[in-house]
Structure 1
Amino acid sequence: MAQDASAPPRYRWVVLAVGAVAQGANAAVFLGLPAITPQLREHFGLSLPQVGLLLGAVNLGTMLTLVAWGAAADRHGERLVMTIGGVGAALCLALAAFDGAVVAGVALVGVGLFGASVNAAGGRAVLTWFPAERRGFAMGLRQTATPLGAALAAVVLPVVALRAGVPVAFLALAGFTGFVALAVALWIREPPWAVRSGSGRHGVVLKDRDLVRLSAASGLLVVPQFTAAALMVELLHDHRGVAVGVAAGLFAAAQVAGGFGRLAVGVWSDRSATRVQPLKALSVLVAVGFALCAALDRAPVWLLAAVLVPTAALALCWNGVAITAAGELAPPGRTGIALGMQNTANYLSATVTPPLAGWVAVGVGWPAALLLAAAAAAGARVLLAVPFAARQLAPELP
């Protein structure tokens, strides 16, 4: 049953705008908090490994509840799910401001548990509102909010934490998250053609071979993405002697280029015969790029950077198309759980990749870490080789 049968088709842009802001707010937490790592260490008295565990708590909570939130969105709609999730995340962020490291860690797990609602339900809202020929662009726009939200948090949070303290930084995030939850409650609606699911039968989605294969390929594509995110500055600065400001600037350039690349790839997928075709091409390009970076490990640093920056940007571009493909592969009324399944693979890989890639870089060498990223992208291309079933999320929309 739709929540608002009178909502005009152009209302889809309101839903997209609110969904993108919600996605950016979520990214400001799980990708923005690492920007205040030194302040967190000082405030809580933590070692570097301990603060790593603290920051990883958000990803842990998110990974555990993505499928459950997706199933809830399929049954009860996006507005209820995202509002509850946003309010819960805001309360947990506020709790993190008022006690020690243990309570903060538990609170951040709670932030992930509630914040995961945005990933599954927000994607379902966009995919339901937009017709097939615009879904790639719409989802690319929504996913561009992730690096933009992270970048904004990386600029603002350190200033707040330095001038007012870590508790105020947590409260600022709580206030913003709560404001976004209010916007969701006021402006997110379902279109008249939305299909709700009943209870049970989630195994139909979780056992779908195409969705499992797409989710596995997505998880593998996260490996080069998060290898670059975690190690690019370290590679250029500590390993090759680039000034830290220049290394950080090159990293930021790759992030911005990758964000706009998500839009371009989304448009490409709208004009392609299949969503999977751009994923195949990107998998090859990323694999070749990281392999070339490994070969250029001792080349002049300008040459290494000239290959590394566009490769890191390409490693960001695939995400929106993969989410769109997962939604279109889902049976009617099961879009949320399909997106939750695909995102779970992403978050699992995002949790494992930084420590694994760092261990390989230190224990084996930087070329080996780069080749690991290349091998993961090549593995994704192998998984995508078998044709996917031709399915459509919904009939042609107004």
Structure 2
Amino acid sequence: MPRPDRYRWVVLAVGAAAQAATSAYFLGLASITPALRVHFGLDLPGVGTLLGTIALGLVLTLIAWGSAADRFGERGVMTVGLLGAAIALGAAAVVPNPAAVGLLLALAGASGASVNSASGRAVLTWFPAERRGFAMSIRQTAVPVGGGLAALVLPGLADTAGVPAAFAALGGFCAVAAVAVAIWVTEPPGSPARGTAERAGFSVVLRNRRLLLLSVAAFSLVIPQSMGLTFLVELLHDSAGFSPAVAAAVLAGVQALSVVGRLSSGLWSDQVGSRLGPLRITAVVVAAAFALAAALEPGPAALFVIVLVPAVAISASWNGLVYAAAGELAPPGRAATAMAVSNTAAFVSAAVGPMVGGVIAHAAGWPAMLACGAVVALLARLALAGGRQDARSRAATSVQKS
């Protein structure tokens, strides 16, 4: 085998590609909703329900996949999950009934959840603590990258070859990723054999106060993130007078900034030797920026945009820190399970945030929604207030025994 200090980057690249493959259908199918409506004869609520089944399948299985990754290793778990997603998406390409396709998409979401749980564990086991934050951030950037690439490719493919071709292409991406995982993802040299390492019971994860508070922080920080990303185009159109096309271009720019932010936050956490410290600062900055945007919303449009755009970008820049911290804080042998718990909290919040934000904005206006994002970000800071001992001090114990 090549030198571990070099091969770890191969494992990271394959894990990131696997994450991009699942994100391509988690996020990318939204780019062909008009084609899906025509193909299946659905109205807006119907197509929303169809795509929502993916998230349902994912949330229900994240913790189970995390536990499996801790027990059997990430290669087998990701390979099985990606193959399951490939089969489900391939079947969706030939099934005409939208209800059946919804069940297949739920299966694809449930299968793809394996990558969310297991690829983070691969980063933890292969990378030392002083590089782990950056590595985890690279893995997290695969989420918007995969969704963005799908959004670029799928509309043209659906227009020229039809919706079945879009499903088939997504399934093919997952199949290729499964082969890559099976070939190149391995355990680090010197890792204990599967089934021989010390492993805490699952209930220990749920009783770990610091992990639960970290999950509360993740849930809270996703609220302003999801509201900002979901309603940025509407905000820029209503409050700043941007055309839909220009507002959409700004959203694309915010996504690009969030990628830079995720990488930068990972480097920052490595340099200061802390995941929780940068998270605390980020929560305060997000709260202040959303509060300032709420105050400026009726004011000068240019100033409002100057504040709002960075606020939304920063709100989407911290995710890798939470998952690295969760894995490092985990009880022995439960890194993937701990990350899955935090990931579940984040995905539930991502579903709740836009709904709550839409209700608040409709009832009380955009400033009220932005103020709500600020308040919830402060709640995240409060959840992170305890536990002055940094997650990295636990890294050697929990990760090495995983």
Scaled by the length of structure 2, the TM-score of the pair is 0.94
Question: Paired residue for 1:347?
Answer: 347
CA contact (8 A) 1:94 1:171 kept: yes
Letter in 1 for 2:322: A
**Partners of 1:219 and 1:346 within 8 A in 2:** yes
CA–CA separation in structure 1 for the residues paired with 2:290 and 2:124: 32
- Tell me the percent identity: 52
Cα displacement (A) at 1:233: 0.7
What do the CA deviations read for 1:247-299 (whole angstroms, capped 9, x no partner)? 01111111101111111110100112421000001001111111111111122
Q: Spell out, residue by residue over 1:3-53, the C-alpha distance to the aligned partner (whole angstroms, 9 max, x if none).
A: x8x863321010000011111111111111111111112211222122111
Equivalent residue, structure 2, for 1:374: 374
Q: In 2 relative to 1, CA 239–302 (structure 1 residues): closer, same or farther, beyond 3 Å?
A: closer
Q: Deviations over 1:183-240 (max 9, x none)?
A: 0011000112435557871111121100000011001111111111211111112454
1:32 equivalent to 2:28? Answer: yes
Q: CA deviation at 1:89?
A: 0.6
SS at match of 1:190: coil
User: Which of 32, 35, 50 is the equivalent residue of 2:46?
Assistant: 50
1:168 and 1:311 map into 2 onto residues whose CA distance is 38
| Superposed displacement of residue 311, structure 1 | 0.7
Match of 1:182 among 163, 179, 182: 179
Distance 1:348 1:281 in 2: 24
Structure 2 residue matching 1:82: 3-state secondary structure: helix
Aligned length: 393
Moved more, 192-201 or 83-92: 192-201
Q: Which runs of 5+ in 2 are unaligned?
A: none
Report the CA distance between 1:337 and its aligned residue.
Answer: 0.5
Aligned mate of 1:169, from 149, 166, 175: 166
Three-state SS of the structure 2 residue aligned to 1:394 is helix
1:194 aligns with 2:191: yes
C-alpha distance in 1 between matches for 2:108 and 2:198: 28
Pairing 1:136–2:138 present: no
Which residue type is aligned with residue 316 of structure 1?
A: A
Matched position secondary structure for 1:171? helix
| Structural RMSD (CA) | 1.7
Structure-2 residue corresponding to 1:86: 82
CA deviations over 1:320-360 (Å, ceiling 9, x no partner)? 01110001001221111011111010111111111221122
Return the alpha-carbon distance in structure 1 between the equivalents of residues 388 and 56 of structure 2: 30
Compared with structure 1, are the counterparts of its residues 393 and 200 closer, same or farther at alpha carbon in structure 2 (3 Å cutoff)? closer
Map of 1:187-226 to 2, 5 A cutoff?
187-195=184-192, 196=194, 201-226=201-226
1:23 corresponds to which residue? 19
CA deviations over 1:118-147 (Å, ceiling 9, x no partner): 011000001110000000010111111111
* Residue pair 1:222, 1:346 contacting (<8 A) in 2 also: yes
Inter-partner Cα distance in structure 2 for 1:68 and 1:200 = 15
In the alignment, the residues of structure 1 paired with residue 301 and residue 51 of structure 2 have an alpha-carbon distance, to the nearest angstrom, of: 31
**TM-score, scaled relative to structure 1:** 0.95
Rounded Cα–Cα distance in structure 1 between residues aligned with 2:65 and 2:76:
11
Q: Does 1:394 align with 2:390?
A: no
Structure 1 residues 157-192: Cα deviation after superposition (integer angstroms, max 9, x where no partner): 111111111111111101111111110011000112
For 1:38, the aligned partner's letter is: P
Amino acid at match of 2:150: A
Distance 1:263 1:137 in 2: 6
Q: Is the 1:78–1:124 Cα contact (8 Å) retained in structure 2?
A: yes
Which position in structure 1 is the counterpart of 2:292?
A: 292
Q: Deviations over 1:45-97 (max 9, x none)?
A: 22212211111111111111111101100110000000000000111111222
Conserved in 2, the CA contact under 8 Å of 1:261 and 1:314? yes
Native 8 Å contact 1:332 1:394 kept in 2: no
Partner of 1:282: 282
Match of 1:232 in 2: 232
Match of 1:112 in 2: 109
Does the 8 Å contact 2:219/2:346 carry over to 1? yes
SS at match of 2:241: coil
Q: Distance in 2 between matches of 1:85 and 1:114?
A: 4
2:68 aligned partner, one-letter code? A
Q: Which amino acid aligns with 1:86?
A: L
AA at the equivalent of 2:61? T
| Distance across 1 between alignment mates of 2:165 and 2:62 | 28
Contact 2:239/2:298 (CA < 8 Å) preserved in 1? no
